[in-house]
Amino acid sequence: MTTNVSNDINKNINSSLIIGVLLTILGIIAIAQPFLTTIFAETWFAFILIFSGFAKLVYAAQTRDRGGFLWKLLLSGLYIATGVMLFVYPQTGILTLTLLLGSFLLTEGVFELILAFRLRPQQNWTWVLGDGIITLVLGAMIWFQWPFNAPWVLGILVGVSVLFTGISRVMLSLNTRSFLNQPDSTASA
């Protein structure tokens, strides 16, 4: 019975390790081809909006007797129209999403700085301060280099995220594998 459980755990660890390696490779490819990754991310976002719009449309139809039908219908139309526009005009979508990302990071950086100074008497408040400064600088870099950075910045950020997700998954899998392969110290006691 114990060996079956051990085999199942080892299979899961191996699967997680393989997924981590694949994510790491995909992250490297995404960073190496940032324009293609940006187009892919923008198109994926367009499909998500279109699908969400149709889901909202179905919800509006199912709940039309509960009030707000017109608003639900308009909201679903907004989702669908935005998704279609992003899909039909990807360059404009990339410009818009990049500007939106820069604005988001600038705003987040300001809020992080405010939070850091509110946390100032506490221990380790400087970590929040550092996070706020880095986020603010990143947002400013995107904003001040826009629109020239739009073709590659989203692709780089997606690639870095996928790369670090893959690396962390590989490291966690290896750590779990080495932990499970250690001799049981409680059995000898």
Question: Does 3 reside within a domain?
Answer: no
How many Å apart are CA 123 and CA 114, to the nearest integer? 16
The answer to whether 41 and 158 have CB atoms below 8 angstroms apart is: yes
Question: Does 53 reside within a domain?
Answer: yes
Query: What is the DSSP secondary structure assignment for residue 65, as one 8-state letter?
Result: G
For residue 150, give its domain range.
Answer: 19-179
- Residue 25, pLDDT above cutoff 90: yes
pLDDT tens by residue, 103-153: 988 998 899 899 889 888 887 888 889 988 988 988 899 899 988 988 898
pLDDT of residue 2: 52
Residue 185's pLDDT band (boundaries 50, 70, 90)? very low
pLDDT tens by residue, 35-80: 999 999 999 999 999 999 999 999 999 998 888 889 999 999 999 9
How many Å apart are CA 67 and CA 27, to the nearest integer? 46
Question: Does 1 reside within a domain?
Answer: no
Question: Does 138 reside within a domain?
Answer: yes
pLDDT of residue 43: 94
Question: Does 188 reside within a domain?
Answer: no
**Count of structural domains within the chain:** 1
Residue 182's pLDDT band (boundaries 50, 70, 90)? confident
Question: Does 189 reside within a domain?
Answer: no
Mean local confidence (pLDDT), 83-97: 92
Question: Does 154 reside within a domain?
Answer: yes
Question: Does 4 reside within a domain?
Answer: no
Per-range mean pLDDT, top range of 10-14, 116-120, 171-175: 116-120
Give me Rg for the CA atoms of the chain: 23
Mean local confidence (pLDDT), 152-164: 89
